[in-house]
Amino acid sequence: MPLSVVFYFLIIDYFKGEPKSHGPVFVITYLYFEHDKSTLPLLFINIVKGERCSFFSWKYGHYFEFLSTKDFNIKVRCTLCVGEKVLSTFKNTTSNLKKHLESQHGTVKLTERVPPSGPKQRAVTSAEGPTHPKQQKLDFGAKPVSDEELKKLVAQYIVEEMLPVNTVDSPSFRAIIKKIPTSVNAELPHRTTFTSYLEKEFTEMERNLKAALNEIDFVSTTADIWTANNRSYMGVTLHWISRTTLERHKVALACRRIRGRHTYDVIGTEIENIHSSYGLLNKVVATVTDNGSNFVKAFQVYHPVTESDDETEEEESTPKDDDVTFSDLSEILSAENETEGQLSLPPHRRCASHTINIICTRDVEKHLTTNAESRAVYRSSTAKCTALWTKLSRSTLASETVEEISKRKLLIPTSTRWNSFFDAVKRIAEIPMGELNTVCTKQGLKCFKDQEYQFLHKYCMAMKPLTAALDILQGDCPYGTLLPTLEVLMQKTQAVKDDLSRMTAGLPDAIQTRFASVLDDKDALLAAASSPKFKLRWLRDAGRRERVKQLLTAECCTTAPLAKNPASVPSATTSSSQGEMDFFTFEAEPEEETYSAEKEVMDYLMSGYDLQILHKFSSIKTIFLKYNTPTPSSAPVERLFSLGGLVLTPKRNRLSDRRFEKLLYKFNFKCQEIYC
């Protein structure tokens, strides 16, 4: 008799209570040796008891090996795990095994067990009647991407990677996109439709930015002009500090085309137009630019007169009460019409990094060339360095020779960055003199003398504090970092003055001269004093420390909210009851404690140095937000231009000015995460 028929009759006979010559032990032993050694014994036991075991009908059960059963549990071994990994699960569920596959073998592509065909394949049921088993689902695949998600991901990829919009029409790119699991109607649009989508996303982003800026009290901007491919652009970046988290945020505000000469009136008009387009005319506390004469003149001409100056002029020009002054009405109206179109720019801050660059180039070179002892060695050593850089930039063979001998690659300085010149000189000074002269000999260049080689080492030692200061100021730091950095910089240059007097003697004086308008500036002092990281610790002079403390106290009195100075509430007592109240005598009520700026400043100075302590001092927090919003340098807008060079490549020089500006907004693409 075929085995399947024997198995069928054995089950029927046992359920009828007539096992006849086939007892349970005989049947189990028979099935154990003739069939699967792990599954059929348990299968028969479950059928005998009228219970259902989900493990043997599970589509991923073939990844486990049955071991034993006890009461309501079974034990199995995972065949995918290394070693003997024993797992336990209930007979009527496979949830533990499914979780094991998800957590330990999520990267394995699982295949379902193909059930055997034929009428015998049916669900194992209990003796009480058939039950329909629940379908077990185990999906390790990614969720399908919707149409909107697909467009947003592709748009982010194109903008951040500086790719042309027609990338979406590339057959290879669309072939990659087709491999992404998407919803039913999701399809990547072609260039024309995708361009319209980018326009809509840009409009939405711009609207969200304007809405976020309406909730911000203090903002600052950086501005500069960039020229590429015979085009000039005005770049502006926006910066602010979140009142709730005290974190700094920045976005690219504009990169607009400028035509014609870059005169001060053109610059002033463009900056005001950019500010007004975002509703920032009364919120910008400062604009940071470089020391270019056209920028400086624009802010000198169009910066509004302060209120204190207006009051002084009014006091001087106000006539006495007894005098009567007659004015021509037509002149007054014409004067008002002339002032309607007058530009109004925010306060101007000069880029501290640009100023330090000027000190390191012009002032240091002037000092070294005017000194007879250092003039010759300075010119000869820099000339030999320049000859070596020129040779390496023109010959790949020379560059390979340097790498073979010195095991390093020399750096070529750029004309716009002094710190690149310092890094290049430092790299040469790091090469031993013997190896350096070997390189020069093989390239047909003059060798370095010992005096010149020592000069390079001393130059790097003297200029190291300036490079450290540049790295700090070019970072994303608040304006309060400027004065403490300059104070420490002057101390460090003064410290090396004794050993390198010929080279560093003029550095402290140069810093004092170049930053004369900043060292005692009220805004810079308040910015540093209101920063918990600095407070008054950076001031070594006791008299100056006391003056800055008084300045901070006076500013707190001005900034203190009205809630801390409650106005007197008028009495609600009527005149009819006033006589009755005069009859009673009461003790004087204690006066409500009023706001004390001195106490807030004292408590603030005695507190910790973490930025979050500002939440305890509302007035100082407002001062911090107002005076620390600007950056000490215009480096952010220069980084924007670096991205512009990646967008406006020679192959894309036909981009329209507006399209170029929209594609340049890499910083703004994650605007939803930073608006707060």
C-alpha distances out from residue 465 to 259, 537, 607, Å:
40, 20, 30
- Residue 187 is predicted with a pLDDT of 77
At 123, list the tokens. 């669900």
Three-state DSSP state, 224: strand
Percentage helix, strand, coil for the chain under 3-state DSSP, each rounded to 5: 55, 10, 35
Greater pLDDT, 579 or 334:
579
Q: How far apart are alpha carbons 430 and 95 in whole angstroms?
A: 64
Residue 535 pLDDT class (50, 70, 90 cuts): very high
DSSP letter string, 181-209 = -B-TT-----HHHHHHHHHHHHHHHHHHH
pLDDT score at 286: 94
pLDDT at 374: 82
- Going by C-beta distance under 8 Å and a sequence separation of 6 or more, which residues neighbour residue 629? 218, 219, 220, 239, 240, 241, 285, 286, 478, 479
* Pairwise pLDDT comparison (511 vs 324), residue with the higher score: 511
Indicate if the pLDDT at residue 544 is higher than 70.
yes
Other CB atoms within a 10 A radius of the CB of residue 420 amount to: 14
Give residue 666's pLDDT: 54
In the predicted structure, residue 630 carries a pLDDT above the cut 50:
yes
In percent, the amount of the chain with pLDDT more than 90 equals 26
Model confidence at 48, pLDDT cuts 50, 70, 90, reads very low
- Please state the domain extents for the chain: 36-104, 208-307+634-674, 352-517
pLDDT, residue 509, reads 84
Q: Identify the residue with better confidence: 59 or 467.
A: 467
pLDDT for the residue numbered 83: 72
pLDDT tens-digit readout, 518-529: 999 999 999 999
Count other C-beta atoms under 10 Å from residue 488's C-beta. Answer: 15
Residues 600, 601, 606, CA angle at the centre, nearest 5°?
A: 100
Report pLDDT for 498.
Answer: 56
Tens of pLDDT, residues 358-409: 998 888 888 888 877 788 898 999 999 999 999 888 888 888 888 888 888 8
Nearest to 469 by CA among 453, 492, 497: 492
Residue 428: which of 493, 376, 383, 361 has the closest Cα?
383
Are the beta carbons of 177 and 188 closer than 8 angstroms? yes
End-to-end CA distance of the chain: 80
Q: Which amino acid is at 272?
A: E
pLDDT per position as a tens digit, 561-596: 543 443 343 444 444 455 565 666 656 555 545 568
Match domain 208-307+634-674 to its CATH number in 3.40.190.10, 3.30.420.10, 3.30.830.10, 3.30.1330.40: 3.30.420.10
Angle at CA of residue 43, ends 42 and 46, nearest 5°: 85
Q: Of 114-118, 164-168, 268-272, 307-311, which one has max mean pLDDT?
A: 268-272
User: What is the spatial distance between Cα 384 and Cα 394, in angstroms, rounded to a whole number?
Assistant: 16
Identify the sign of the CA torsion 255, 258, 263, 265: negative
Neighbours of 460 (CB within 10 A): 18
* Sign of the torsion angle spanned by Cα atoms 141, 143, 147, 152: negative
* pTM: predicted TM-score of the whole model, two decimal places: 0.66
Which range has the worst mean pLDDT, 132-136, 284-288, 602-606?
Answer: 132-136
Cβ neighbours for 97, distance < 8 A, ≥ 6 positions apart = 55, 58, 60, 64, 76, 87, 89
pLDDT band for position 254 (cuts 50, 70, 90): confident
H helix intervals, 560-617 = 575-583, 597-605
Q: For residues 253 and 156, give the distance between their C-alpha atoms in angstroms, rounded to a whole number.
A: 18
Alpha carbon distance 247, 258 (integer Å) = 33
Element containing residue 631 per DSSP (H, E)? none
Single out the residue of 405, 393, 380, 509 nearest to residue 456, CA to CA. Answer: 380
- Name which of 602, 596, 594, 622 is nearest 549 in CA terms: 602
pLDDT band at 481 (very low <50, low <70, confident <90, very high): very high
Structure tokens at 487: 């104070």
Contact 165, 191 (CB under 8 A): yes
User: DSSP string spanning 56-115?
Assistant: GG-TTGGGEEEEEEETTEEEEEESSSSS--EEEEETT--HHHHHHHHHHSTTS---PPPP
**Confidence band, pLDDT 50/70/90 cuts, at residue 328:** low
At position 147, the amino acid (one-letter code) is D
Q: What is the pLDDT of residue 480?
A: 94
Please report where in the chains the tokens 């070596």 appear, as a residue.
388
